[in-house]
Copies of this chain bind each other. A is one copy, B any other.
Amino acid sequence: MSEKTNTPKCATCGSRNKSVFCSLNTEQLTQIDTDKSCEFYQKGEVIFKEGVMARGIFCVNNGKIKLSRMGQSGKEQIVRFATGGDIIGYNSMLSKKPLSATATALDKSAVCFIPAKNFFQMIRDEPNFSLKILELTAKNWENASRLITDMAQKTTKQRLAEMLLWLKETFGLDEDNCIDVQLSREEIANMVGTATEAVIRLLGDLKKQKLIALEGKKIKLLDIHGLVVLADLVD
């Protein structure tokens, strides 16, 4: 009937249980359903742009999203990813500053928009929701401070190994042990913080070391423990 025919309902959202919305009751979910909207994005489409003020938060229904910042002379730096159940854009709401990153779909994605009003209402009315968001922002900081340390101290090869493991954690592996996301060498370079050529060479090295295999664009992880050791993430 309405223009919202394709809009998924929160109550039946497959991603809800692992999201910050898990503790809301039916009434609260219905309220969100009433006010939210949902958009579908193709690979490469921009969901929101760094620098503008956020007017609400975005909740990923399904798909794969990269969050990146423009650094030196326009070079992209990927700082985070989001998949089903993750929310994005909330930092800008909370800090009352412009969005600090651009969100881009890496794949066909469905993303709901929840207006600021509802977001702040949930924070005020539902201490458990508030705590969930606090937990989320705290974990973000902890990940970020680790990333700062690694960027500052590790070699390019170690960082590459670490990023491959991060991609595995975030997007998982397919039946064939390949990392289940399509990124260009340039995008990988923009995570690692190096030149595209360096990534190509270093992926070649990792292949020679039998840590990975390259099947076209797909990266297959052959020796996860070896990558962990190389990246110097525990042993």
Q: Is the CB of A153 within 8 A of B94?
A: no
* A140 proximal to B (CB < 8 A): yes
Asked if A152 meets B71 with Cβ closer than 8 Å, knowing A134-B123, A134-B137, the reply is yes
Residue of B nearest to A67 (CB): B145
Q: Is A223 an interface position by the 8 A CB rule?
A: no
Chain B residue contacts of A72, Cβ below 8 A: 153-154, 232
Q: How far is the CA of A78 from the CA of B130 in the complex (A)?
A: 29
Q: A100-122 interface mask toward B, CB cutoff 8 Å, 1 = contact, 0 = none? A: 11000000000000000000000
* CB nearest to A70 among chain B residues: B149
Check if B79 sits within 8 Å of A138, measured CB to CB: no
The answer to whether the Cβ of A224 comes within 8 Å of any Cβ in the partner chain is no
A152 to B100, CA, bound (A): 17
- Expressed in whole angstroms, the minimum distance between the Cβ of A114 and any Cβ of chain B is 16
Which residues in B have their C-beta under 8 angstroms from that of A97?
A: 139, 142
- Taking the complex as formed, is A197 at the interface, i.e. its CB lies under 8 A from any CB of chain B? no
Specify which of B134, B144, B153, B194 is in contact with A144 (CB 8 Å cutoff): B144
Whether B123 lies near A127 (C-beta < 8 A) is yes
Contact residues in B for A145 (Cβ distance below 8 Å) = 69, 79-80, 100-101, 144
User: How many chain A residues touch the partner (CB < 8 A)?
Assistant: 46
A79 neighbours in B (Cβ, 8 Å)? 145, 148-149
Question: Which residue of the partner chain B has the closest CB to A189?
Answer: B152
Known: A71-B152, A148-B79, A149-B69. A133 touches B134 (CB 8 A): yes
Which of A69, A101, A145, A147 gathers most chain B CB within 10 Å?
A: A145
For the A-B complex with A123-B134, A141-B141 known, give 6 more contacts whose Cβ atoms are closer than 8 Å.
A96-B135, A97-B139, A97-B142, A100-B142, A124-B127, A140-B141
A-B pairs, top 4 by smallest CB distance, nearest first, are A152-B193, A144-B144, A137-B137, A94-B138
Name A residues whose Cβ lies closer than 8 Å to a Cβ of B.
69, 71-72, 75, 77, 79-80, 90-97, 100-101, 123-124, 127, 130-131, 133-135, 137-142, 144-154, 192-194, 232
